[in-house]
Structure 1
Amino acid sequence: MGAPVDHTVLESSTTYENPASRVMEPGPLSEAHPKGDWRDYVSVTKIGITVANLMMVFAGLWIGTTGRLDMSVVLLTMLGSALVVMSGTCLNNFIDRDLDKLMQRTKTRALPEGRLTPSSVLKMGILLGIIGTVLLASVNMLTAVLGLVGLFFYVVAYTLWTKRTTTLNTLVGGVAGAMPPVMGYAAVTNTMDMVAWVIFTVLFLWQVPHFLALAMRRADDYRTAGFQMLPAVRGFEVTKHYILSYTVALVPVTLLLFALGAVGKVYLAGMGILGLVYIVLNVSGFFMKDSIKFSRMSFVYSLIYLTMFSLLIMIDRV
C-alpha cells in the first residue's frame, strides 16, 4: 500500500495512474485448469446483496397490494428479481476482475485467483439474466422492463463505465439500486404512479450516504485499484458534505408516502424520528476526528434506517 495517506486533504486535480493499464500478473491458479467448486459459483452471486434487494422487492409488493397477496405473483416476482440481481453481480465480478486483483478486500475472490474462468462467470450472468427476465415478464412486462433497466444501469452504466471514470458513479449506481422496490410495486399494480416514484426516490437518495460511508472505509483500496470513488479522489471532508446533503434530502421524501395516503401515522412518527437521528449523526461527522469511525457509524445506521423503512411500511400500510 505504500506510505500512509493523509485523508484530510486530497485535491480533486490530482492525477492518478489508471491501474487498468498495468500489466496484470496471472492469479495463483491457472484459468485453463480452474479449481473452483459450487461455493465459488455461489460467491459471485453475492447472496448478501441479493437478499437485501429481495427485502426491498417484498416491501414494494406489500405497499402496492390491495387485499390479499397473490402468492404466485409474489413467488415469480421474488425469484425473477433474485435471478436478475444475481446476473448483475456475476457480470460485475466478470468486468471488475482485473482491478479486483489490486484490492486487499477483493483479490481473493474466485475470478482474481483463477478458481473460476471469466467465460463461465460471463455465461452464468447472461443465463441468470435471461431466466430472471422471463419470470418477471410472466408477471407483467412493466416489471420485466424495470428489471432490465436496473441491470443495464448496474452492469453497463455503473460497473463498466462510471465506476472507472467519474465520482458521479454513486448516482448512476443509485438508479439500479432503487429499482427492486419499484419492481415489487409494479408487479402488483402494473403501473408507475406517484407512490412508485416516491419509493424510487427514497431508495435513490438513501444509497448516496450509504455507499459514500462505505467508500470512506475503503478509500485506500479504491485509490489503489483506480476506482473513482469520491472519498478516494476528493477526500473525506467533501464526502461528508455529500453524505449530509443527501440525508437532508432523503428524510422529507420518506414522509411523502404518508402524504400520499399509502402509510399511516405510525410510519410517519417512526420515520420522522429515524430521519432526525440520521441527520444529527451525519452532522456529527464534521466534529469527529476519527473519520473512519464516523463512516462506520453512518454506514451501520443507514442499514438500520432502510430496514426500519421496510418494516414500518409492512406494519403501517394503509
Structure 2
Amino acid sequence: MNKADTPSSLKIGNAHVATKPNSLIADFKELFKAIVLISNVLPVLTGFWLALHFTNSTFAENWELFVITIVGSTFVMAGALILNNWYDVDIDAVMDRTKKRPTVTGHISLKTVLILGIALSAIGLVILLLTTLEATIYAFIGWFTYVFLYTMWSKRKYTLNTIIGSISGAVTPLIGWAAIEPAYHVVPIVLFFILFIWQIPHTFSIAIKKYDEYKAAGVAMLPVVHGFNFTKRQMVVYIACLLPLPFLLAPLGTTFIVIATALNVGWLILGIRGFSAKDNWQWAHKNFIYSLSYLTILFLMMIVVTLPAAG
C-alpha cells in the first residue's frame, strides 16, 4: 500500500494525515475506535464511583484523582486499540466494517500509528502510577491481554480469542476501584465477571452479523469455525450465567437487583429466540443493540442508585 499515492492525504514528517478537517476527525474516530473506547471508560468511572461510595469518601475530595484515573486509563485503552489497528491492517483491508480505518486508507502511515499506540500506552501507564500501583497493574494486564494475547496471538488462530479478549475489558472497573482502595471487595470482583461474561455474547453477535467478512479475512470467530447454531447455544449459556450476579450486589439495593435481573431475563429471552430466527443477521443485530444498551443501563444504574447516599 503506497501511502504517498493517497490523493486526500498530506505528508507531515513521516505521517500522512487527511487534509480535510471532517475527514481527519473521521479518521481519528476510526483509529481510536471511539465507541469501543467510551464503552470501556464507563466501567472505570463506575468502579471509581462505587469505591467512593463503599469507603464513605466524597467525589469533591477525590476529583483530581478521578481526572488522573480517567485520563490515564483512557490513554492506555486508546493505545491498545490503536496498536490493534496497526497490527490488523491486512485483515481490516478485507472487511467492509474496517475498510475506512486510516491504517487501511493510508491517511495515516503505519509507522505513525505504531508510534502513537506505543506512546499513548506508555503515557497512560505513567499517569496511572500517580494513582496506585494496583490500578496500574490492572491497566497493564488489560493492555497486555488485548495487544499480545488477543490481537497478536489468538485472534486469527483460535475461537477462544473472544474469551481471551474479554479479560482486557473486564479489568476496567478494577482500575477505577483500585485508584481508591484495593479491589479485594465483592463489588469490583462481581463487576469484573459481569463484564467478562457480557463481552462474549456481545462479540458473538457481531461475529454472526459480520460472518462473511470474518470468513473472508480468515479470522477464527466461533460462527465461522463451528456455525451459527453452536454459537447461539454458547450465547444462551453465557447470558444465563449473568442471572445470579446481580444478587451478589445486594448492597446496591433492591431497585438495582430488579432492574438488572429484568435486563438479564430480557436478554436471555432474546437469545433463546435465536434458535427459531429466520433472519440470523437481524436477530444478531438486535442482540448487538441490546448488549450495548444493557451495559450502559447497568453501569449507569450502579451510579444512580448510590447518588442519594453520595452526599
TM-score in terms of structure 1 length? 0.87
> Gapped runs of 5+ residues in structure 1?
1-24
Which residue is 1:29 aligned to? 6
C-alpha distance after superposition, 1:175-195 (max 9, x if no partner): 001111111111112333222
The correspondence of residues 50-69 of structure 1 with structure 2, limited to 5 A, is 50-65=37-52, 66-69=56-59
Question: Secondary structure of 1:111's match?
Answer: helix
Say whether residues 1:91 and 2:72 are aligned partners: no
Letter in 2 for 1:308: I
2:291 alignment partner, one of 302, 306, 313 = 302
C-alpha distance after superposition, 1:25-70 (max 9, x if no partner): 6576399966423433453112222111111111111111123121
> Gapped runs of 5+ residues in structure 2?
19-23
Which residue is 1:313 aligned to? 302
The 2-side partners of 1:206 and 1:254 are apart by 13
Letter in 1 for 2:142: G
C-alpha distance after superposition, 1:117-146 (max 9, x if no partner): 111111101110111111111011101111
Letter in 2 for 1:266: T
Shift of residue 254, structure 1, vs aligned partner: 3.0
Which residue is 2:30 aligned to? 43
Shift of residue 108, structure 1, vs aligned partner: 2.7
Which residue is 2:73 aligned to? 81
The 2-side partners of 1:247 and 1:26 are apart by 45
1:281 alignment partner, one of 259, 270, 279 = 270
Question: Secondary structure of 2:102's match?
Answer: coil
Which residue is 1:18 aligned to? none
1:265 alignment partner, one of 247, 254, 258 = 254
Q: Contact 2:92–2:98 at 8 Å: present in 1 too?
A: yes
Q: Contact 1:255–1:271 at 8 Å: present in 2 too?
A: no
1:292 alignment partner, one of 256, 266, 281 = 281
Which residue is 2:225 aligned to? 233
Q: Which is richer in helix?
A: 2
Q: Contact 2:30–2:100 at 8 Å: present in 1 too?
A: no
The 2-side partners of 1:231 and 1:115 are apart by 33
Shift of residue 107, structure 1, vs aligned partner: 2.1
1:121 alignment partner, one of 113, 116, 120 = 113
Question: Secondary structure of 1:36's match?
Answer: strand
The 2-side partners of 1:32 and 1:277 are apart by 49
Q: Contact 2:16–2:109 at 8 Å: present in 1 too?
A: no
The 1-side partners of 2:180 and 2:83 are apart by 29
Shift of residue 201, structure 1, vs aligned partner: 0.6
The 2-side partners of 1:315 and 1:109 are apart by 36
Stretch of structure 1 that moved more, 31-40 or 181-190: 31-40
Letter in 1 for 2:90: D
Count residues with an aligned counterpart: 291
Question: Secondary structure of 2:179's match?
Answer: helix
| Superposed CA RMSD | 1.9
Which residue is 1:150 aligned to? 142
The 2-side partners of 1:282 and 1:71 are apart by 40
The 1-side partners of 2:247 and 2:2 are apart by 51
Which residue is 1:183 aligned to? 175
The 1-side partners of 2:165 and 2:246 are apart by 20
Q: Contact 1:266–1:312 at 8 Å: present in 2 too?
A: no
The 1-side partners of 2:215 and 2:302 are apart by 38
Question: Secondary structure of 2:183's match?
Answer: coil
Which residue is 2:21 aligned to? none
Question: Secondary structure of 1:188's match?
Answer: coil
The 2-side partners of 1:234 and 1:227 are apart by 13
Question: Secondary structure of 1:251's match?
Answer: coil
